Chains A and B, each alone.
Chain A
Amino acid sequence: MQQFVQQLLNGLFLGSIYALIALGYTMVYGVLRFINFAHGDVFMLGAFAGLYTQKALGPLMTSLPWPVSAALVLVISMATCAIAGIVIELLAYRPLRNRPRLNVLITAIGVSLFLEYTGQLVFGATQVPFPPLMPSHNVSGLGELTVTNVQVLVLLAAVGLMLGLRFVVMRTRLGLAMRAMSLNPTASSLMGVNNSIVISFTFGLGSALAAAGGIFYASLYPSIEPFMGIIPGLKAFVAAVLGGIGNIPGAALGGLIIGITETLVAGYSQKIGIPSGYKEGVAFVILILILIFKPSGLLGKVEREKV
């Protein structure tokens, strides 16, 4: 039981990060109906932006109390990635707005590879340690469970960002425009919504969340490299599909499910007699199962194809 709760908690922390990335996939899919393959690499960019911000701030980092400096790093990194996301959309995806979806998908793969290998040139190919944003210690009073304050803060911050996103999408004019566009882009533009601005905004928002995910991930697993975004990115995508792509609460739910399943498989692999390395494949097995049995996802709506 002890071990089960521990694994569940670990899964929850990891899942909250997957959920943050998954939100970006789902939002972009909502407005543009395409999978932004490069999203996982924006996540990587976020982690590196955090690293370089820390380096640039240097002495300031140590003189400020850690909540301020950590927030500063987070905000700067999120802003950098928001801009990066908007630029990527502008340069690579916008020229293809009315082309077949396959072309956009291929471009997205191209952008993803471009970010990875340019990252390798700029940041170096080796693993870089990510300096901790705050002093880490175990949270006391939980019996034999080991939970660090970093993990708890990551979970709280992730939940906070998701609630913030919910507010933006449900309560602001731009959020309204996003929802209108995901319902029907032609009709929304006829109603006076500037679709291009909505798309840029969506990319910015999604990329900022991915950047936050990158910083959180780097705080939990403090070693970053230019290819770190591929696997979490794919898993987050699976999370988005699992929750029903285009559905924002679904992406959050999917992220948590993937995170928890993965840690449980890794934790219990010995008992059920499979190698723990199989946890890397879990997300994909879930993906294939969900696409076969419920392609619309857990919370998604069934879309009929019209001729």
Chain B
Amino acid sequence: MMKYKAQIALLIALAVSLGLSMCSGQIDDYYLDILLNVGINITLAVSLNLVNGHTGQFSLGHAGFMSLGAYGASVFSLQMGDRLITVFGGQSVFATSVTFLIALTVGGVCAAACGWLVGVPSLRLRGDYLAIVTLGFNEIIRVVLQNTSGDGAFGGALGLKGIPLYTNIFWTFGVAAVTIYTISCMVNSTYGRGFLAVRDDEVAAEAMGVNTVRYKVTAFVLGAFFAGLAGGLYAHLRGTISPEGFNFLKSVDVVVIVILGGMGSTPGVVLAAIVLTLLNEKLRDFEQYRMVVFSLILIIMMIVRPQGLLPATLFQRRKNA
């Protein structure tokens, strides 16, 4: 029984989100929207945490991967969606679900492939340089998307609209649960110790035979994949996306969540994703102060409590000496 604790938790989470999804009609649209945003932010933050927290590589390009996922999934939905739905026997919950699943996967794979392309060369860099390269990559994606032709598949600077609104509670929290499950299980496995080793001391890890580049690339690709899924969910929640929506500041939003929660601490990051998303809603009337507050949070956290609100050390199992 205990052996399958994580798997059972995952199944329960999936069942609960399916159940909630069934009665989402009861929930006020405003709160439903916030709830879905919470789910998407959890996915984003937990996936960035794999790169920034567990593996200790500072990526500032998460919005770039998110945008790839969003565009990948949306373009697929817009171009192929109708055809697929007909193949699966016309408009039905089953047909749209399968189509959405494929669209999301397409988005995730696009992001992961790009994560690999960027990761392989740039992960030989460390710390600050990696941060800047990922940021630069984020900007390159944005510039390229912005300069696509306005009536082509990518919609140019105005972006895409009319994306089918498939995102619901089941998909959002299902993806969030799968993300948390995959990443926690991976990091806590024997294989996953390599991520932490890379973070704690790259040189020592390499000396002990850990293939550091491979671990970093794995973390990057996996993080990008889940960011891509989150992007797909986001696109099918809003119905419209534009390159400007995935700029540097969007990446910073996710970074703030990870830092506030505690780098390398999945429960902390999930909590921070919930708190900051709600706070964002509450501060909507004080929009101009919001980022001032966030930036002060970043600075003060680094000085006073760099390990985050719920640091990873809280959750480590005690070992017998």
Is residue B239 within 8 Å, beta carbon to beta carbon, of the partner chain?
no
A selection of 15 A-B contacts at a CB cut-off of 8 Å is: A35-B128, A92-B299, A99-B306, A101-B127, A105-B131, A114-B299, A125-B288, A241-B132, A274-B147, A288-B121, A292-B121, A292-B124, A295-B125, A295-B129, A307-B203
Residue tally, chain B, CB below 8 Å to A: 41
A109 within 8 Å of B by Cβ?
A: yes
Which of B122, B127, B144, B259 has its CB near the most chain A CB atoms (within 10 A)? B127
Do residues B203 and A291 form an inter-chain contact, with CB atoms below 8 A? no
Docked-complex contact A285 and B299, CB < 8 angstroms: no
Q: Is the interface of B mostly helix, strand, loop or mixed?
A: helix
Question: Which residue on chain B has the smallest CB distance to residue A231?
Answer: B139
Contacts of B289 in A (CB 8 A): 121
CA distance A117 to B133 in the complex (A): 24
| Docked pose: A95 CA to B132 CA in angstroms | 24
Q: Are B298 and A284 in contact (CB under 8 A)?
A: no
> Is B303 an interface residue, CB under 8 A from the partner?
yes
Does A287 lie within 8 Å of B303, measured CB to CB?
A: no
Would you call A230 and B248 a contact (CB within 8 A)?
yes
Question: Contact flags (1/0) for A88-110 with B, using CB distance below 8 Å?
Answer: 00001001100111111111011
Residues from chain B with Cβ under 8 Å of A288 in the complex: 121-122, 133, 136-137
Query: How distant is A227 from chain B, measured CB to nearest CB, in Å?
Result: 10
Q: Mark B226-262, 1 if CB is under 8 A from A, else 0.
A: 0000000000000000000000100010010001000
Q: Is the CB of B139 within 8 A of A284?
A: yes
B128, A117: Cβ atoms under 8 Å? no
A112, A113, A274 — which one has the most chain B CB atoms within 10 A of its CB? A113
Determine if B288 and A277 form an interchain contact, defined as CB atoms under 8 angstroms apart: no
For the complex of A and B, 9 pairs with smallest distance between CB atoms: A110-B298, A284-B136, A113-B295, A114-B295, A275-B147, A110-B299, A281-B143, A117-B291, A277-B147
In angstroms, Cα B143 to Cα A228, docked, is: 17
Q: Are A105 and B252 in contact (CB-based, < 8 A)?
A: no
Chain A residues, Cβ within 8 Å of B203: 305, 307
Q: Please tell me if A118 contacts chain B, counting CB pairs below 8 Å.
A: yes
Instruction: Give the contacting residue for A280; candidates B133, B139, B255, B303; CB below 8 A.
Output: B139
Task: Give the number of residues in A that approach B within 8 Å (Cβ atoms).
Answer: 47
Q: Does any Cβ of A come within 8 Å of B58's Cβ?
A: yes
Residue A34 lies at the interface, judged by CB distance under 8 Å to chain B: yes
Q: Is B146 an interface residue, CB under 8 A from the partner?
A: yes
Contacts A92-B299, A102-B127; A292 near B122 (Cβ below 8 A):
yes
- Residue pair B125, A291 in contact (C-beta under 8 Å): yes
> Which residues of chain A are near B288, meaning CB under 8 Å?
117, 120-121, 125
Q: Mark A259-294, 1 if CB is under 8 A from B, else 0.
A: 000000000000000110110110111011001100
| Nearest-Cβ distance from residue A285 to partner chain B, whole angstroms | 7
Complex formed: what's the CA distance from A116 to B147 in Å?
26
Q: Of all chain A residues, which has the CB nearest B290? A: A117
B298 touches A107 (CB 8 A): yes
Q: State whether the Cβ of B296 lies closer than 8 Å to any Cβ in chain A.
A: yes
Q: Determine if A237 is an interface residue (Cβ-Cβ < 8 Å).
A: yes
CA gap between A117 and B302 in the complex, in Å: 19
Find out whether the CB atom of A35 lies under 8 angstroms from the CB atom of B295.
no
Residues in A neighbouring B299, C-beta threshold 8 A: 92, 107, 110-111, 114
Q: Which residues of A contact B166 (CB under 8 A)?
A: none
Q: What is the distance, in angstroms, from A34's C-beta to the closest C-beta of chain B?
A: 7
Q: For the complex, what is the distance from the CA of A17 to the CA of B281, rounded to whole Å?
A: 40
Query: Given that A234-B135, A234-B139, A287-B136 are contacting pairs, would A117 and B127 also be in contact in the complex, using a CB cutoff of 8 Å?
Result: no
Closest to A121 in B: B288
- B147 and A278 contact, CB distance less than 8 A: yes
Instruction: State whether the Cβ of A238 lies closer than 8 Å to any Cβ in chain B.
Output: yes
Interface centre among A114, A120, A305 (most CB of B within 10 A): A114
Chain B residues closer than 8 Å to A121, beta-carbon distance: 288-289, 292
Beyond A102-B58, A113-B252, A292-B124, 14 additional pairs, beta carbon < 8 A: A99-B306, A101-B128, A105-B127, A106-B58, A109-B298, A110-B296, A111-B299, A114-B299, A125-B288, A277-B143, A278-B144, A280-B139, A283-B136, A284-B140
Query: Known: A34-B128, A281-B139, A305-B203. Is A113-B147 also a contact (CB below 8 A)?
Result: no
Query: Contacts A120-B288, A121-B288, A291-B129 known; A106 to B143 CB distance under 8 Å?
Result: no
A221 vs chain B, min Cβ distance (A): 19
Kindly list chain A residues whose C-beta atoms are within 8 Å of the C-beta of B136. 234, 238, 283-284, 287-288
With A278-B147, A280-B143, A281-B139: A114-B303 Cβ-Cβ less than 8 Å: no
Please name the residue on chain A nearest to B52 by beta carbon.
A102
Residues of A contacting B259 in the complex (Cβ-Cβ under 8 angstroms): 106
- Verify B143–A110 contact, CB threshold 8 A: no
Chain B hits for A292, CB < 8 A: 121-122, 124
Contact B296 A281, beta carbon cutoff 8 Å: no
Report the bound CA distance from A112 to B135 in whole Å. Answer: 14
In whole angstroms, how far apart are the Cα atoms of A283 and B139 in the complex? 10
In the bound complex, residues from chain A placing their C-beta under 8 Å from that of B125 are 291, 295
Task: Tell me which residues across on chain B come within 8 A of A284, comparing CB atoms.
Answer: 136-137, 139-140
Chain B min CB distance to A85 (Å): 16
